[in-house]
């Protein structure tokens, strides 16, 4: 339990660090803003209490907001992500169900499942985020382009990060 909490804390600091120090400063064109930090919310254990998910997401979002000067925007998008997460997990559940303390990841569930899981939630997060940023429908074409392209880049980064990440169970 303690180890899990410490591991999650370390993961949070590393991901938020990469987000703030590197990704917020890299220019990939006008339509691409990847948000790797959502990997933290995606890889919380399956049996995390539902009522704990929400404050975790709220504060993760607020910290991301502090660095981008957009109070509430990331918080709102992160809340939507974790609100959809339990239902999305049960929709995608394999026939034998999940192990209770399992972390939804590439290694444990395979590539196809992971892309469906992460892709869906990342899309929802980015959809709300970019619409809150623009706050109107008049530039819908470019907003949808932002959402689509950024979601794809975030999904790729999240998947690649899984290959690179340290996994204590394999040692």
Contacting another protein (CB under 8 A), which of 1, 2, 5, 25? Answer: 25
CA distance 152 to 13: 23
By the 8 A CB rule, do 58 and 22 touch?
no
Determine if 61 is a binding residue for another protein (CB under 8 A).
Answer: yes
Residue with tokens 């999940």: 98
CA distance 104 to 118: 9
**What is the pattern of x (binds another protein, CB under 8 A) and - over residues 114-133?**
----------------x-xx
Q: Longest Cα pair distance anywhere in the chain, in angstroms?
A: 53
Determine if 50 is a binding residue for another protein (CB under 8 A).
Answer: yes
Determine if 73 is a binding residue for another protein (CB under 8 A).
Answer: yes
SS (H, E, C) 54-109: HHHHHHHHHHHHHHHCCCCHHHHHHHHHHHHHHHHHHHCCCCCCCCCCCCCCHHHH
Determine if 76 is a binding residue for another protein (CB under 8 A).
Answer: yes
Give the distance, in angstroms, between the CA of residue 67 and the centroid of all CA atoms in the same chain.
17
Determine if 91 is a binding residue for another protein (CB under 8 A).
Answer: no
| Cβ nearer to another protein, comparing 42 with 106 | 42
Taking the complex as a whole, the smallest distance from the CB of residue 3 to another protein amounts, in Å, to: 27
Contacting another protein (CB under 8 A), which of 15, 42, 79, 149? Answer: 79
Where along the sequence are the contacts to another protein (CB under 8 A)?
A: 20-21, 24-25, 27-33, 50-51, 54-55, 58, 61-62, 65-73, 75-76, 79-80, 83, 86, 130, 132-134, 139, 142-143, 146
């Amino acid at each position: 339990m303690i180890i899990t909490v410490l591991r999650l804390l370390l993961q949070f600091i590393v991901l938020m660090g990469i987000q703030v120090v590197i990704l917020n400063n890299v220019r990939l064109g006008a339509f691409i803003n990847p948000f790797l930090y959502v990997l933290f919310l995606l890889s919380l254990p399956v049996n995390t209490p539902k009522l704990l998910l929400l404050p975790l997401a709220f504060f993760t979002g607020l910290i991301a907001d502090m660095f981008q000067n957009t109070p509430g925007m990331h918080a709102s998008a992160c809340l939507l992500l974790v609100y959809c997460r339990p239902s999305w997990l049960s929709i995608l559940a394999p026939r034998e169900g999940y192990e209770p303390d399992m972390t939804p990841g590439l290694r444990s569930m395979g590539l196809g499942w992971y892309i469906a899981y992460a892709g869906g939630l990342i899309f929802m997060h980015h959809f709300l985020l970019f619409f809150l940023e623009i706050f109107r429908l008049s530039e819908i074409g470019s907003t949808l382009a932002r959402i689509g392209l950024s979601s794809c880049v975030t999904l790729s980064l999240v998947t690649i990060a899984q290959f690179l990440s340290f996994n204590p169970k394999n040692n």
